[in-house]
Chains A and B, each alone.
Chain A
Amino acid sequence: MMHFLLLFSRQGKLRLQKWFLPLPERERKKIVKDMTTMVLSRKPRTCNFLHWKDLKIVYKRYASLYFCCALENKDNELLALEILHRYVELLDKYFGSVCELDIIFNFEKAYFILDEFLMGGEIQETSKQSIAKSVEASDMLQETMEEYMSKPAF
């Protein structure tokens, strides 16, 4: 089960955070700090995995953005790497050639997509199409809502 997922920039600025287990605010801040320093200080040509406390950190850099998640010991690191990749694919499909700025300015959208993809730290839906469909359905609905301010006909 995934414990948390963080997105941060090369400068260590947090872009998105998702916590799948309840943690106090102070702890969260410390983790974010630890993660950014640990991951950013990794040299090139090292593997994408790290040990941190009793968890395993899996991270990957996409352009200027680092995707970083924490797994339990029994989880499969390689698979987690592909979860990150699938998330990037989903963002890409939604924004159309996604870049860091898309996520900065539309971070709530990034959260909505994540909520359709992961739930409670586990994969919820692996089909790219159906995730895109459900996110878009909500979006479409919002458009009509704004226009007509009426209950959608479902």
Chain B
Amino acid sequence: MSDVVEKTLTALPGLFDSQTGAAKITNRLRQLIKSITELTSKHEEENLIKQELSAMKEQVSSPNTTMKQMREIMVRAMYCEMLGYDASFTYIHAIKLAQQGGLLEKRVGYLAVSLFLNEGHELLLLLVNTVLKDLQSTNLIEACMALTVVAQVFPKDMIPAVLPLVEDKLSHPKEIIRRKAVLALYKFYLIAPNQVQHIHAKFRKALCDKDPGVMTSSLHIYLQLIRESPDSYKDMTGSFVTILKQVVGGKLPLDFNYHSVPAPWLQIQLLRILSLLGKEDQSTSELMYEVLDESLRRAEMNHNITYAILYECVKAVYTIHPKAELLEKAARCIGNFVLSPKINLKYLGLKALTYVVQHDAKLALQHQMTIIECLDHSDFTIKRETLELLFRITNAQNVTVIVEKMLDFLRICNDEHTIIHLVGKVAELAEKFAPDNSWFIQTMNDVFSIGGDLLQQDVPNNFLRLLAEGSESKEEDDQLRLYAVDSYLTVLKGHTSHLPQCFLQVMSWVLGEYAHLQESVDQREVIRLLTQLLDQRSVSSETRVWILSALTKISEGQTDLILDLAESLSSSQDTVLRQQAQELRHLSQDSQLHEWALPRGAPWDGIEVDSSLSFLDGFVSEALAAGAAPYKPPHQRQEELCEDRALNLEPYGFSLPVSLSSCSITDRQSPTLLSVSSGLSGNSTELSQKAGSSTLILEGVKRVWGKDGYLPQKEATAPPVDEPSAAVQPPSQQEAAERIEPRPDPSTQNQDKQQLASSLFVGLGVGSSMSLLGKSEAPPLRFRKKPRPHESSSSSSGTSERSSDSSSRSSRNTTDSFLYSSLLEEEPAASISAFDHTPKSTTANGLAQNKDTKEDRRANTSQILGGDMVIVRPSTIQDKHPPSVSSDLTALLPADLKDLPHSDVISLTSDPSLSLSSCRLFRDEALLLVIFISNCTETVIKDVAVQLTCEELKTVSLRGSVGSVHSLSLGHCPQQTSSVRPLVVTTEEYGKLWLSLSHDVKQNLKLLTDAGDPLRTTLNALKDALQLHVVDIIGSEGIVACRLLSGAPCLLHCRVNGTALAMWLRSPHPALPDCILYHCQRALAHH
């Protein structure tokens, strides 16, 4: 901004004189600001503000203060708040000002409200009536102000109050009102999507609005909607393309130009929408090639805004179905960015490259010198972005160099978030591409010591699992473990006080498990080192538990050392430590018991987890016989607590049942379990379960890239720090040099850079040595893990992860057992019997209780993905019904499923030989999907493979011996409503339950008035559509109950209110009422 003149404070007095009239600086505010700028210390400022605030307090409470004065006070209060002082006594007056003041005061009042009051502030309730009044006002400005404040501060539960009025504003004659209404609805959509579900059609109208401003605003909503489900909006691609064409062609009023670029914000919004629509969809992509080409061509001017558009264009081109010509142009554009001397553009260029190399790694080669320059850039932001790029192009050959660069950066970085982020990436790379054992262990040591206790919990977990589960070759595993043991002993012999807890935990676990492998080291020495740690003050009590359990494992035969230790700890304050010390003492005295409880070197897959705790049955029955109270599940206990009003002092949150199953058995194998005391058992049991069920996690494929010359093993222990190129042997260097254009008179510095380049970019693209040698593209990976269905990166959501995991397991079981029972009655295939299909999936369902339905759906769908493929090979096909009599198919259901309520049988697909239909069965605790395969021919068909390769369980493919493959949509298969079950309760129980539930939603619904008793008709319609249970109907009120599969109840209270049905929903789960309400709305709308 060239014409912004920096005026100094000495110009103050003159400024006041000249501006009094126009700018309206109120006297008091002016004085306040002026005196504050004259102050020299913070202390003086505090005093001054204190005085000011107390003066204001007096003024606002005086009845003689006029609205005009109040307005002036409010501005001063805003100023004080901005300086960081509390002026909360004015909040209520801000609301009053908005309520009672004239336009001028109202405007300031609303501004103060939006600055002072957060969403969720209780005073906001007082604002609702004012806003309602102003929304209905014929005064344009009042309506504008109300819409602005609604979009700024209204919380979720206040939206229904204003929604109808805001909705009406969509057809207001003034475009400014329409625009604001659209944006307010966008905001509503973000915070409560269900509540605006019914106005989607009106959004379409806004998109076609004659005012470009309104249309632009509606794109915010569409971007959001399309991001969530691109498939539902494919039909609008044409419209978006047309709009973009018009914009790019300069058809909008000149006023929308920004630095002579037509409506750049609009263009970018459209480009984003198009890239979402065209993703993985060739036919849709084809519609937009032309306009993308046009956009790339038009954006030529050298201005930031054109670069912003270009960047989005490039991203779009690389996201949609590829077209060679466009890709080429886009790649050239990236060149413009990366080579630009402007640092901001360089940054964006790196970002674009990072995005693009995922699709085409070769592009990084073209810019290698720039990338290396950026790597040494003085700007941290640029450096970090470069590392992000390098992370994407890492392969087995350049991993050591790249990881070294990342670690170098991390050592000088002091931003927590960056460290967590990057350290996780280093760990990932190390695991994926490690060239040898010692490098891997060394790198992980760095990861643990740099990342420290900021690390995501899954980094150490993954690392330990990798060590523990091993690969196929035991020899190699033991070698890796030996390296780890040796390395940790060295670390522990040095200074240990600065080491992060998480590193100590990892070390103690590894030493506990594998110290015995190292025969040259005296076990007493190991015990001594670990005991030393226990004495350190900096060691947390959780780490102590880890150390102690390690000691328990290696204590065998060293009774003397151990007894002292156990003695000293058995008086510890920490109960867990004390318990462990006791265990330690017992075990060290009884070597037979020790051998039995903690067998050394026991294989991982040999652990059987008895999650039903059946081994305790004897103990339980004894206890019961002795008069102990029977066990009650947590929810039952809670209900009883509700009955006992006197004890019920706390608000009713839905307690999370934590399963402590299986901990006693896996104690030895899973170190994380030892932290049960820290309340994180959910996560750790998950680990042990996974460990128990997966047999082969590692594939220790021997590394064979000696041929192409990269053999860093020789100096592996000394990481290549200063001259990374030293680690690269001549052949690859030469090849790299050939790829790089020879520069005239290359200085030595340049040469260094080129060497670095050759080590960084080795193995990329077609020109790389790999393909020259005629090898396969993907190099063999050392630590390759089997993909697991729920590899989530966050450990914070450990419990929910676990519950989804277990519920998916249970439903997989049911699916499998179904497939088995309906198709294979006479021939249990081996692949299926491998799954244990115990019908007791209750624990799993109990755990899933407090998950919302969306997550349930996710769990339901991912189980199919996780369950790999179930291949069923019946010798003959039993069912020989033609598809036309599909209704009879339900008769073929196995006896135990016959009586369940079920949906209609839907014919999915058929060809001349086979037909496929499905039906949903609603069992109390699960949703069963039944698939019928019928042979329509007279011949016997062998080898029918049903493959559920579905994403989101939407499609299923059927492959018959005829050789044809059908992929087809299961249509509306996993509907949310499918997981709703009637909840049978009495009116009294209902009443009690109602009081105990916390989350409620109220809304008016349509009443079906076509029959005699509107309430009954409506409720019955809902009951049929949603599987609800109508508890009672009393006069004009009705109560209805339902629950989720997982158990979370939802109670509905309906009252006839004129022609509408006032519905009040309550549930322990925050999202459930919204969800049920939405489905009720839909069900009634369809009626």
Please give the residue numbers on chain A whose beta carbons come within 8 Å of chain B beta carbons, in ascending order. Answer: 14-17, 22-24, 29, 43, 45-54, 62-64, 76-79, 81-82, 85-86, 88-89, 92, 95, 97-102, 104-109, 111-112, 115, 119-120, 122-130, 134, 137-138, 141-142, 145-146, 149, 151-152, 154
**A120 B6 Cβ-Cβ under 8 A:** no
Q: Is the CB of A76 within 8 A of B6?
A: no
Q: How far is the CA of A134 from the CA of B351 in the complex (A)?
A: 38
Contact A82 B258 (CB under 8 A): yes
CB–CB B4/A98 < 8 A: yes
Beyond contacts A16-B82, A109-B23: 20 other A-B pairs, Cβ-Cβ < 8 A, are A23-B118, A47-B343, A47-B379, A49-B347, A51-B417, A53-B417, A78-B307, A79-B265, A81-B344, A88-B1, A99-B4, A99-B7, A106-B24, A106-B25, A119-B183, A120-B152, A124-B180, A134-B176, A142-B103, A145-B104
Sort A-B residue pairs by CB-CB distance and give the 4 closest, nearest first. A78-B308, A22-B119, A120-B187, A63-B6
**Which residues of chain A are within 8 angstroms of B344 by Cβ–Cβ distance?**
47-49, 77-78, 81
| Measured CA separation A24–B120 after assembly (Å) | 10
Interface 1/0 per residue, B128-155 and A, CB below 8 Å: 0000000000111100100010011001
Given known A-B contacts A52-B417, A126-B256, A108 and B347 have beta carbons under 8 A apart: no
Docked complex: B82-136 residues within 8 A CB-CB of A: 82-84, 102-104, 107-108, 111, 114-115, 118-120
Contact A123 B378 (CB under 8 A): no
- Which of A47, A105, A151 lies in contact with B382, CB distance below 8 A? A47
Q: Which of B4, B119, B382, B415 has the most CB of A within 10 A?
A: B4
Q: Which residue of chain A has the shortest Cβ distance to B34 in the bound complex?
A: A105
Cβ distance A1 to chain B, nearest Cβ, rounded Å: 8
B179 part of interface (Cβ distance < 8 Å): yes
A85 to B264, CA, bound (A): 13
Find out whether the CB atom of A154 lies under 8 angstroms from the CB atom of B139.
yes
CA distance A81 to B75 in the complex (A): 29
A120 contacts B183, C-beta separation under 8 Å: yes
Known contacts: A78-B304, A111-B115, A146-B104. The answer to whether A106 contacts B347 by CB under 8 A is no
Query: Given A49-B347, A79-B264, A119-B148, A100–B141 Cβ distance below 8 Å?
Result: no
For residue A133, which residue of chain B has the nearest CB?
B176
Q: In the assembled complex, how far is the CB of residue A59 from the closest CB belonging to chain B, in whole angstroms?
A: 11
Q: Given the interface contacts A63-B5, A126-B266, does A142 sit within 8 Å of B104 by beta carbon? A: yes
Q: How far is the CA of A43 from the CA of B151 in the complex (A)?
A: 37
- Within 8 Å by CB of B4, from A17, A52, A97, lies A97
Q: How far is the CA of A62 from the CA of B265 in the complex (A)?
A: 22
Residue contacts A-B, CB under 8 angstroms, 6 given = A48-B344, A51-B417, A106-B23, A119-B187, A122-B217, A127-B253
Contact A51-B418, Cβ < 8 Å, known A14-B83, A17-B82: yes
Q: Which of A48, A124, A128 has the most CB of B within 10 A?
A: A124
In the complex, what distance in Å separates the CA atom of A43 from the CA atom of B148?
A: 38
In the assembled complex, how far is the CB of residue B986 from the closest CB belonging to chain A, in whole angstroms? 41
Asked if B644 lies at the interface with its beta carbon under 8 angstroms from chain A, I say no
Chain A hits for B4, CB < 8 A: 62-63, 88, 92, 97-99
Beyond A64-B6, A122-B186, whether A51 also contacts B217 by CB under 8 A is no
Whether the Cβ atoms of A127 and B213 lie closer than 8 Å is yes
| Residue B3, interface by CB 8 Å | yes
Pair B305/A152 contact, Cβ less than 8 Å: no
Most buried by A among B1, B11, B33: B1
Contacting residues, chain B, for A137 (C-beta < 8 A): 140-141
- Closest CB-CB distance, B667 to chain A, in whole Å? 37
Residues of A within 8 A of B217 (CB): 122, 124
Q: B1033 contacts the other chain (Cβ, under 8 Å)?
A: no
Instruction: Check if B12 is an interface residue, CB within 8 A of chain A.
Output: yes
**With A22-B119, A126-B256 as given contacts, are A92 and B1 in contact (CB-CB < 8 Å)?**
yes
Q: How far is the CA of A111 from the CA of B180 in the complex (A)?
A: 16
CB-CB under 8 A from B25, the residues of chain A are: 105-106
Residues 175-190 of chain B, each 1 if its beta carbon lies under 8 Å from chain A, else 0: 0100110011011001
Return the CB mask of B13-39 against A: 1 if under 8 Å, else 0: 001000100011100011001000000
Question: Is B805 part of the contact surface with A, judged by Cβ < 8 Å?
Answer: no
Query: A137–B786 Cα gap in the complex (Å)?
Result: 65
Chain A residues contacting B417 (CB-CB under 8 Å) are 51-54
For B216, the chain A residues whose CB sits under 8 A away are 123, 126
**Within the assembled complex, what's the spacing in Å between the Cα atoms of A51 and B176?**
35
Complex contacts, A92 vs chain B, CB 8 Å = 1, 3-4
**Residues 347-401 (chain B) with a chain A CB within 8 angstroms:** 347-348, 351, 378-379, 381-382, 384
Q: Is A22's CB under 8 angstroms from B179's CB?
A: no
A123, B265: Cβ atoms closer than 8 Å:
yes
A107 touches B82 (CB 8 A): yes
Contact of B347 among A77, A105, A145, A152 (CB under 8 A): A77
**A151 cross-chain contacts in B, Cβ below 8 A:** 139
Are the CB atoms of B111 and A130 closer together than 8 Å?
A: no
When the two chains form their complex, are residues B256 and A127 in contact, meaning their CB atoms are under 8 A apart? Answer: yes
CB contacts (< 8 Å) of A152 on chain B: these are 103, 139, 141
Q: Which residues of A contact B103 (CB under 8 A)?
A: 138, 141-142, 145, 152
Scan residues 178-224 of chain B and give those whose CB is less than 8 A from a CB of chain A.
Answer: 179-180, 183-184, 186-187, 190, 213, 216-217, 220
Q: Is the CB of A129 within 8 A of B3?
A: no
- Hey, which chain A residues are within 8 Å of B118, CB to CB? 22-24
Residues in B whose Cβ lies below 8 Å from that of A122: 183, 186, 217, 220
Decide if B148 touches A115 in the complex (CB within 8 Å): yes
Is the C-beta of B710 less than 8 angstroms from some C-beta in chain A? Answer: no
Are B258 and A105 in contact (CB-based, < 8 A)?
no
Most buried by A among B183, B255, B384: B183
A104 contact set on B, CB distance < 8 A: 33
Q: Is the CB of A76 within 8 A of B82?
A: no
Can you list, as one digit per residue, whether each of B239-273 has a CB less than 8 Å from chain A (1) or not (0)? 00000000000000101101000011110100000
Contact status A134-B144, CB under 8 Å: yes
Indicate if the CB atoms of B304 and A108 lie closer than 8 Å. Answer: no
Contact B33 A108 (CB under 8 A): no
B7 touches A101 (CB 8 A): yes
Q: For A102, what are the chain B residues with a Cβ–Cβ distance below 8 Å? A: 23
Contact check, B1 vs A63: say whether CB atoms are below 8 A apart: yes
B846, chain A: closest CB distance, angstroms: 33
State A45–B379 Cα separation when bound (angstroms): 9
Q: With A51-B381, A85-B1, A154-B139 in contact, is A108–B111 under 8 Å at CB?
A: yes
- Cα-based distance from A122 to B219 in the complex (angstroms): 11
Query: Does B277 sit at the interface, judged by CB under 8 A?
Result: no
Q: Could you tell me the distance in whole angstroms from the C-beta of A152 to the nearest C-beta in chain B?
A: 7
B3, B15, B24: most-surrounded residue (chain A CB, <10 A): B24
> Considering the chains assembled together, what is the distance between the CA atoms of A54 and B343 in angstroms?
22
Residues of B near A78 (CB, < 8 A) are 304-305, 307-308, 311, 344-345, 348
User: What's the least CB distance linking B87 to chain A, in Å?
Assistant: 12
